[in-house]
Amino acid sequence: MKGHLAELLDTLPQTGSVRWIGVRPARGQPMQIVDAVEARPGKGLIGDRYAGSSGKREVTLLQWEHLPVIASLLGVDEVNPALLRRNIAVAGINLVALRGKELTIGGALLRGVDFCQPCSKMETALGPGGYNAMRGHGGITAQVIRGGIIRPGDKVALSADS
């Protein structure tokens, strides 16, 4: 059975797509929605304040399908992804399944590193209960393995080398 579980964990036939991209140029600044971003190994996303600061958190990815869940938990109609302080929102592929795996996203190759837990700033950004609404819905952090340009609409998939 153990071999079967390992096979299931390594099988992800779905592909997703980039729905939204944002970078924060400096601390305290609002997210800037961009039409394209360059990912660089050891740097992260060019134009983002975290570029070059930590290999484990070079890029943050959010599950697009979780936005309505977060909104529902907050009792609002919708949540703007820019409020969630993540760089890229993707749809159609389970980000949790990409933790510890290599994924292609646009022209870049990333490695899913860890869960991206919410911070206390979610209470300010989303209102009372924002932190708890984000728990389990914060996405993942990733490291850039091979650089490239990422745009909305780009395909997101498990790397064939993963």
Please tell me the distance from the alpha carbon of residue 11 to that of residue 5, in angstroms, as a whole number: 10
**Strand intervals (E) in 46-117:** 59-63, 88-91, 102-105, 108-115
Which class for 27: exposed (0-12), middle (13-18), buried (19 or more C-beta within 10 A)?
A: exposed
Tokens of 1: 């059975």
Give the model confidence (pLDDT) of 102-150 as tens digits.
999 999 999 999 999 998 999 999 999 999 999 999 999 999 999 999 9
Calculate the CA 83 to chain-centre distance: 14
pLDDT at position 162: 62
Give the model confidence (pLDDT) of 33-62 as tens digits.
999 999 999 999 999 987 766 667 899 999
pLDDT at position 11: 77
Closest residue by Cα to residue 53 from 140, 141, 122, 118: 141
Backbone angles phi, psi at 103, to 5 degrees: -135, 145
Alpha helices in the chain (DSSP H): 2-9, 67-74, 121-126, 130-134
